[in-house]
Amino acid sequence: MSDTATPARTTGCPVAHGPLSSERTPTGCPVSQRAAEFDPFEDGYQQDPPEYVRWAREKEPIFYSPKLGYWVVTRYDDIKAVFRDNITFSPSNALEKITPTGDEANAVLASYGFALNRTLVNEDEPAHMPRRRVLMDPFTPEALKHHEPMVRELARSYVDRFIDDGRADLVDQMLWEIPLTVALHFLGVPEEDMDTLRKYSIAHTVNTWGRPKPEEQVAVAHAVGNFWQYAGKVLEKMRQDPDAPGWMQYGIRKQKLHPEVVTDSYLHSMMMAGIVAAHETTANATANAVKLLLQHPQVWQELCEDPGLIPNAVEECLRHNGSVAAWRRLVTRDTQVGGVDLPAGSRLLIVTSSANHDEAHFSDADLFDIRRDNASDHLTFGYGSHQCMGKNLARMEMQIFLEEFTRRLPHMRLSPQRFSYVPNTSFRGPEHLWVEWDPAANPERKNPALREVQVPVRIGEPSRHAIARPVVVERVTPVAEGIVKLRLVSPDGKPLPRWTAGSHIDVECGSPGLSRQYSLCGDPDEAGVLEIAVLHEPEGRGGSAWVHRQVKAGDRLRIRGPRNHFRLDESLAKAIFIAGGIGITPVSAMARRAKAIGMDYELHYSGQNRARMAFLDELAALHGERLQVHASDEGRRCDLHALLAEPVAGAQVYACGPLRMLQALEDCCAAWPEGALRVEHFESTLATLDPAKEQAFEVELKDSGLVVTVPPDQTLLSALRAANVDVQSDCEEGLCGSCEVRVLSGKVDHRDVVLTRPEREAHNKMMACCSRACEGRLVLEL
Ligand code: FMN
């Protein structure tokens, strides 16, 4: 064993391994000591999977685990790439036993006729997508609505049972049984035998993802065998009454129309796998969520005070501490992930819980932030054609549970306890969750009507408009004619999220419906402070006027974000920053960053006259010679053509300012490499949708295997959401770039102001909030 780090590249592997073990990967590459020690059945992984593989995420993102015989993938982009390509990365091993069982256990399983076959989770194309399409409708937000009263009534009656006790194990007394009951209802299964089913489904988890000892294996095999036979019997019962409500009956009816797509073996396997998929994942996810929230009492209190935050809190809980820690794929042809060679036959453990803590995708990733604007990017539901079909049912249940708890037991806290987990790689949630409260302080004792209060559930991905955070205006400072700077701090000393140069926030200008974006212009290293500068636009729509008229020191504002669609590439040889007027706000933060990291840069700042240009002294002090000020009234207009006449190797141009200036820059940079010009727009020229003038069009979703029609009165974004496809969005005006989707074929009628001309002409990406098809069908990478 050596303890020297190798720079690798001996076998084409790009990873600089740490101290080495004596083991080698199947490709002959050395295995680092940490990789050799990796053991997902250890308590470290069970307690906190993303923390357990932090070293890998940071230094050795794909490694081979000799103990497991799997390649372990830990970063967001790599895992998403694996999910995206279900041909190269087959899901066929997703339900395989991770620990092979011995002969005795296998014989027991065979004695029950156990033949769990392909289900939606683990089948390859071309079989999978036709089945998914045929069986999907009951999962759309529209179809799920009618389950809401049943879930709510269940949640209420279970809380009734223990609300006066002052103490409960939420897992045993509620969170296990309700998702099971909901799963049974959804599937159309009779409710009897719940206790037996509970045992069976635990056994199934251990059988598939766990490491049962040889003596346990036989008992587990009996339970799984019984589970299998039970599923078969119930299915037979359902066939007698195929018009009853339920997803299985829906499948039975579809079998009549498409017998080659929905087969008998398929229905039997789905029956068993469906119970586990719908039940345990939600039970565990809710237990994890309640635990996480109660471990952050201030966040819990905020949720109790503002239940509108619950939908996004659910996403953040699923991100931070979801119930599916890792998933599996089988490599079907020689390929690479993240530059690492993976031969055909390699088995992958894709640690989605680690992806959910990847700093490259989630800034300040370990912070538990229920207002995080991209929380729903988490990979806990997977992604692409195999994404969890029941995600919106799970979201609905979790929202309802949290609403009931926050309203009826806001004084609940965690009891002292050590959490235990069923050892396995994938399904994760505490076996028990003890909480306590003072029943005398139950709010219902003063106000019994509280039991019946109801907040409408949001089915589907949460709306960004619900996730505002309060801030206090510490200072308002005039920084130029018509421009004020606001210094915003946390109202209660809780940290504000860290941000990166180029980011902006949304400020609610007096009401949630009137929100405006403002770039952060302070110092990203000054923790807990956000600074914006707002130009008064007298002819505007009222947002900036409100800021100038109303906002004073001590006021509370509601903001969303920060988010960044104007990132500085810190690996550049050089950055040329160009700002016009109020466009200096993001650019000043970027130039500050460039200076801090020692990058070569220049800063060109134009305006009508110095009195109307913010931050001049500060910028001059910080940037000295690198700053060029161009004030029109001094006859010093910035000659953009001359400035950018020659492309500079390895340089990028970052610009923000009036529309005219940004359009001119596109011409000036025509000779520059594609993507060398990066701009941030402050104003939108977008008209709202006029259905009389619009055409319907179709989009084919390559990753999900669906075809969605976008009618004339709907945007692509809303049509995708109605079809259960999550797409991020922010401004929904074509300004911010957050709803970008990749286009694989077809011509796009671009209506945003984010893409550059070459980007538009390439027709390989579009903004779902506003852009449409020129004609015919678009194929999207979704
Ligand atoms: N306006 C500013 O005055 N300062 C800024 O830093 C600023 N940053 C913006 C960042 C983005 C990403 C966008 C889309 C716009 C930004 N704006 C900024 C423009 C404002 O959002 C808003 O449009 C402007 O204040 C006019 O609003 P009004 O017409 O309601 O008065």
Predicted confidence (pLDDT) per residue in 468-496, tens digit: 889 999 999 999 999 999 999 999 887 78
Ligand 1 centre and the CA of 654: distance in Å? 18
Ligand 1 atom 15, closest CA = 682
What is the spatial distance between Cα 723 and Cα 717, in angstroms, rounded to a whole number? 10
Query: Is ligand 1 within 6 A of the CB of residue 537?
Result: yes
Res 177: pLDDT = 86
- Of all atoms in ligand 1, which is nearest to the CA of residue 517? 21
Question: Under a CB-based contact definition with an 8 Å cutoff, are residues 727 and 710 in contact?
Answer: no
Res 200: pLDDT = 77
| Secondary structure (DSSP) of 71-120 | EEE--HHHHHHHHH-TTTEEGGGTTS-SS---HHHHHHHHHTT------T
| Cβ count within 10 A of residue 435 | 21
Res 9: pLDDT = 40
- Of all atoms in ligand 1, which is nearest to the CA of residue 514? 30
Query: Is ligand 1 within 6 A of the CB of residue 79?
Result: no
Q: Which of 517, 659, 753 to mutate to test the pocket of ligand 1 (most atoms within 8 A of CB)?
A: 517
Q: What percent of the chain has pLDDT over 90?
A: 58
- The residues pairing with 280 across neighbouring beta strands, listed in sequence order, are none
* Least confident among 408-412, 432-436, 517-521, 729-733: 729-733
- Is it the case that residue 757 has pLDDT exceeding 60? yes
Query: Is ligand 1 within 6 A of the CB of residue 585?
Result: yes
Ligand 1 atom 21, closest CA = 517
- Strand arrangement, sheet containing 469-480: 515-519, 503-508, 556-564, 469-480, 483-489, 529-535
The angle that helices 264-294 and 297-305 make with each other, rounded to 10 degrees, is 100
Query: Tens digit of pLDDT for each residue in 241-259?
Result: 999 889 999 999 999 999 9
Average pLDDT over all residues of the chain: 89
Query: Is ligand 1 within 6 A of the CB of residue 536?
Result: no
Query: Is ligand 1 within 6 A of the CB of residue 677?
Result: no
Output 109-116 pairs: Cβ under 8 A, ≥24 positions apart: 109/221, 109/224, 109/225, 111/225, 112/222, 112/224, 112/225, 112/226, 112/228, 112/229, 113/228, 113/229, 114/224, 114/225, 114/228, 115/228, 115/265, 115/268, 115/269, 116/228, 116/269, 116/272, 116/273
pLDDT band at 134 (very low <50, low <70, confident <90, very high): confident
* Least confident among 261-275, 312-326, 347-361, 371-385: 261-275
**Residues 562-578: what's their mean pLDDT?**
91
Of residues 412 and 738, the one with the higher pLDDT is: 412
Res 2: pLDDT = 35
- Is it the case that residue 12 has pLDDT exceeding 70? no
Query: Is ligand 1 within 6 A of the CB of residue 393?
Result: no
What is the spatial distance between Cα 674 and Cα 758, in angstroms, rounded to a whole number? 7
Ligand 1 atom 5, closest CA = 518
Q: Please report, for residues 56, 320, 324, 616, 740, the alpha-carbon distance to residue 754 in angstroms, rounded to integers and kept in the order given.
A: 35, 31, 35, 28, 10
pLDDT band at 693 (very low <50, low <70, confident <90, very high): confident
| Cβ count within 10 A of residue 420 | 12
Ligand 1 atom 17, closest CA = 682
pLDDT band at 136 (very low <50, low <70, confident <90, very high): confident
The DSSP code for 623 is H
**Residues 308-319: what's their mean pLDDT?**
94
Ligand 1 centre and the CA of 717: distance in Å? 23
- Is it the case that residue 521 has pLDDT exceeding 50? yes
- Helix or strand holding residue 62 (H, E): strand 62-65
What is the spatial distance between Cα 52 and Cα 41, in angstroms, rounded to a whole number? 11
Amino acid at 426: S
Res 686: pLDDT = 61
* Least confident among 306-320, 651-665, 675-689: 675-689
Q: Which of 373, 544, 549 to mutate to test the pocket of ligand 1 (most atoms within 8 A of CB)?
A: 544
SS3 (DSSP) at 552 = coil
Q: Please report, for residues 696, 720, 776, the alpha-carbon distance to residue 708 in angstroms, rounded to integers and kept in the order given.
A: 11, 7, 12
What is the spatial distance between Cα 592 and Cα 521, in angstroms, rounded to a whole number? 10
Closest-CA residue to 117 (of 92, 89, 136) = 92
- Strand arrangement, sheet containing 62-65: 62-65, 70-73, 347-350, 327-331, 89-90
Q: Which of 485, 506, 516 to mutate to test the pocket of ligand 1 (most atoms within 8 A of CB)?
A: 516
ipTM: 0.99
Measured at the alpha carbon of residue 658, what is the angle toward residues 654 and 662, in degrees to the nearest 5? 45
Ligand 1 centre and the CA of 661: distance in Å? 16
Q: Are strands 483-489 and 469-480 parallel, antiparallel or unpaired?
A: antiparallel
What is the spatial distance between Cα 116 and Cα 704, in angstroms, rounded to a whole number? 24
Res 3: pLDDT = 37
Question: Under a CB-based contact definition with an 8 Å cutoff, are residues 307 and 425 in contact?
Answer: no
Structural domains in the chain, CATH included, are 103-452 (1.10.630.10), 468-564 (2.40.30.10), 574-680 (3.40.50.80), 697-780 (3.10.20.30)
What is the spatial distance between Cα 566 and Cα 501, in angstroms, rounded to a whole number? 8
**Residues 200-223: what's their mean pLDDT?**
76
Ligand 1 centre and the CA of 120: distance in Å? 46
SS3 (DSSP) at 650 = coil
The angle that helices 148-162 and 391-408 make with each other, rounded to 10 degrees, is 40
Q: Are strands 777-780 and 697-701 parallel, antiparallel or unpaired?
A: parallel
- Of all atoms in ligand 1, which is nearest to the CA of residue 545? 31
Each residue of 386-401: b (16+ CB within 10 Å) or e? Answer: bbbbbbbbbbbbbbbb
Query: Is ligand 1 within 6 A of the CB of residue 514?
Result: no
pLDDT band at 735 (very low <50, low <70, confident <90, very high): confident
The angle that helices 391-408 and 310-321 make with each other, rounded to 10 degrees, is 110
Ligand 1 centre and the CA of 684: distance in Å? 10
Of residues 373 and 504, the one with the higher pLDDT is: 504
The DSSP code for 224 is H
Res 8: pLDDT = 40
Res 31: pLDDT = 93
Query: Is ligand 1 within 6 A of the CB of residue 735?
Result: yes
- Is it the case that residue 209 has pLDDT exceeding 70? no
Query: Is ligand 1 within 6 A of the CB of residue 504?
Result: yes
Burial of 564 (0-12, 13-18, 19+ CB in 10 A): buried
Query: Is ligand 1 within 6 A of the CB of residue 682?
Result: yes
What is the spatial distance between Cα 248 and Cα 269, in angstroms, rounded to a whole number? 11
- Is it the case that residue 717 has pLDDT exceeding 90? yes
Res 4: pLDDT = 37
162's tokens: 């223990």
Query: Tens digit of pLDDT for each residue in 539-560?
Result: 988 999 999 999 999 999 999 8
The angle that helices 264-294 and 247-257 make with each other, rounded to 10 degrees, is 150
The angle that helices 264-294 and 177-187 make with each other, rounded to 10 degrees, is 150
- Is it the case that residue 6 has pLDDT exceeding 60? no
Res 384: pLDDT = 86
Ligand 1 centre and the CA of 488: distance in Å? 17
- Of all atoms in ligand 1, which is nearest to the CA of residue 544? 31
Res 463: pLDDT = 66
Ligand 1 centre and the CA of 174: distance in Å? 48
**Residues 202-224: what's their mean pLDDT?**
76
- Is it the case that residue 11 has pLDDT exceeding 60? no
Q: Which of 519, 735, 738 to mutate to test the pocket of ligand 1 (most atoms within 8 A of CB)?
A: 519
Ligand 1 centre and the CA of 682: distance in Å? 5
- Is it the case that residue 368 has pLDDT exceeding 70? yes
pLDDT band at 464 (very low <50, low <70, confident <90, very high): low
Burial of 765 (0-12, 13-18, 19+ CB in 10 A): buried
